[in-house]
Amino acid sequence: MLVQQHRRTCRLTGIVRPATALGLAVLATGCGPQSMLSPAGPRAEVIADIWWAMFWGAVAVQLLVLLLGAYALWWRGRRPAVRSSVFIVGGGVLLPLVSLTLLLVYGYRIGAFLAAPPADALRIEVVGQQFWWQARYPGQTAVETAGVLRIPVGEPVLLALRTKDVIHSFWVPRLAGKQDLIPGRVNDIWLQADRPGVYRGQCAEFCGAQHARMALVVVAEPRPQFDAWLEAQRRAAPDPGADPGFSAFMQSDCQSCHRIRGTDAGGERGPDLTHIGSRWRLRAEHAVAPARTLVDWIRLSHLSLPEDEQPSGPASLPAQQLESIAGYLEGLQ
Ligand SMILES: [Cu+2]
């Protein structure tokens, strides 16, 4: 469904294209899963509107300049039909005064809309770090996800953005503009998805060697589904008992970085894996290098860590042991 909607938007720009024609390579690349020109929420719509307003404004100014250029060539050496003071006052004073005042008022109104988060918005904490995104949902049992942000559709959501290390920038082009994550600060941004769907985002500030892998998926779904999901995520993992996959997990040092609520694994350096089985495919599908199996995904995930922090386990464990661990993790739905 989402893809269809997307095609429709693309077809629309296809109709406009002959009119705007030449030099619009931007439009050709403007259709894609991460295009701010196919907005899917009020915040992104306003930003796309500014883009179009500035685009048509630039087209108008360009035409005007070309016309004046032609006029100048045409009248060269003849007696001017229009006094030069008309150009100086009109083009040098009035035109910038009027157009810049209009832009200022327009920009100010939009700025006020973008800056003020709706009072009753659901608040989710988002932590950026080299090179992944972590989301924390409020509540007695804090739910944590990695690389996937689930939100209810049609409602404003307030994201409190923090970074653990360097400056990152949160950007989901179809839902909102960019907001930097700055060490020592909490920066808020609000967004809203008007249609259910999956929206891809990306860190938009170069933050180190694996910056390009720092992708994020926003899943917007109707409130009842969202509530059910959150409720299910709050549950701890079942008692692993003598599951050999779990023992291998504990013995392979995975637990020093990963928590699985309800078990002895309590590490905090990496993503909470309590419900990894319900999440990894979605994440892997939107990663830079898609993984087909959970074993692939385990290997791939750690490659994107800063080099001196990469655990040796995921890369060097015997395949059988890794498969046993993956089998256990897959069951953590
Ligand atoms: Cu980053």
The three state secondary structure string of the chain is: CHHHHHHHHHHHHHHHHHHHCCCCHHHHHCCCCCCCCCCCCHHHHHHHHHHHHHHHHHHHHHHHHHHHHHHHHHCCCCCCCCCHHHHHHHHHHHHHHHHHHHHHHHHHHHHHHHHCCCCCCEEEEEEEECCEEEEEECCCCCEEEECEEEEECCCCEEEEEEECCCCEEEECCCCCCCEEECCCCCEEEEECCCCCEEEEEEECCCCCCCHHHCEEEEEEECHHHHHHHHHHHHCCCCCCCCCHHHHHHHHCCHHHCCECCCCCCECCCCCCCCCHHHCHHHHHHCCCCCCCCHHHHHHHHHHCCCHHHCCCHHHHCCHHHHHHHHHHHHCCC
pLDDT in tens, 274-315: 999 999 999 999 888 889 999 999 999 998 888 888 898 888
pLDDT of residue 6 exceeding 50, the answer is no
For residue 131, the CA-to-ligand 1 centroid distance in Å is: 6
For residue 165, the CA-to-ligand 1 centroid distance in Å is: 9
For residue 181, the CA-to-ligand 1 centroid distance in Å is: 9
Tell me what pLDDT residue 237 has: 95
Tell me what pLDDT residue 77 has: 76
Band of residue 78 on the pLDDT scale cut at 50, 70, 90: confident
**Residue reference for tokens 């907005």:** 39
pLDDT of residue 194 exceeding 90, the answer is yes
For residue 44, the CA-to-ligand 1 centroid distance in Å is: 21
Band of residue 18 on the pLDDT scale cut at 50, 70, 90: low
Q: If you average pLDDT over residues 71-95, what whole number do you get?
A: 83
**Residue reference for tokens 């060490």:** 183
For residue 183, the CA-to-ligand 1 centroid distance in Å is: 12
- Output the pTM of the full model: 0.86
For residue 132, the CA-to-ligand 1 centroid distance in Å is: 7
Say what percent of the chain tops pLDDT 70.
Answer: 90
Torsion sign (Cα): 171, 172, 176, 181: negative
Tell me the Ramachandran region of residue 62: left when phi exceeds 0, alpha when psi lies from -120 to 50, beta otherwise.
Answer: alpha
Q: Shortest CA distance to 190 belongs to which of 42, 298, 291?
A: 42
pLDDT of residue 67 exceeding 80, the answer is yes
Give the pairing type, strands 187-191 and 157-163.
antiparallel
pLDDT of residue 24 exceeding 60, the answer is no
Whether the bond between 249 and the residue before it is cis, its omega within 30 degrees of 0, is: no
pLDDT of residue 223 exceeding 60, the answer is yes
> 147 versus 75: which is more confidently predicted?
147
Token duo for residue 160: 């409190």
CB distance 180 to 249 below 8 Å: no
pLDDT of residue 7 exceeding 60, the answer is no
Token duo for residue 268: 């905090």
For residue 332, the CA-to-ligand 1 centroid distance in Å is: 28
Q: If you average pLDDT over residues 250-256, what whole number do you get?
A: 94
For residue 207, the CA-to-ligand 1 centroid distance in Å is: 5
Tell me what pLDDT residue 2 has: 44
Q: How confident is the prediction for the chain on average, in pLDDT?
A: 89
For residue 34, the CA-to-ligand 1 centroid distance in Å is: 17
pLDDT of residue 103 exceeding 70, the answer is yes
For residue 304, the CA-to-ligand 1 centroid distance in Å is: 12
Tell me what pLDDT residue 3 has: 43
For residue 306, the CA-to-ligand 1 centroid distance in Å is: 12
Tell me what pLDDT residue 116 has: 83
Tell me what pLDDT residue 5 has: 47
Q: Which amino acid is at 56?
A: W
For residue 248, the CA-to-ligand 1 centroid distance in Å is: 32
Tell me what pLDDT residue 20 has: 62
For residue 144, the CA-to-ligand 1 centroid distance in Å is: 19
For residue 128, the CA-to-ligand 1 centroid distance in Å is: 7
> 73 versus 248: which is more confidently predicted?
248
For residue 214, the CA-to-ligand 1 centroid distance in Å is: 6
Token duo for residue 275: 């419900």
Average the pLDDT over each of 24-33, 117-126, 164-173 and give the range with the smallest value: 24-33
pLDDT of residue 21 exceeding 60, the answer is no
> 312 versus 24: which is more confidently predicted?
312
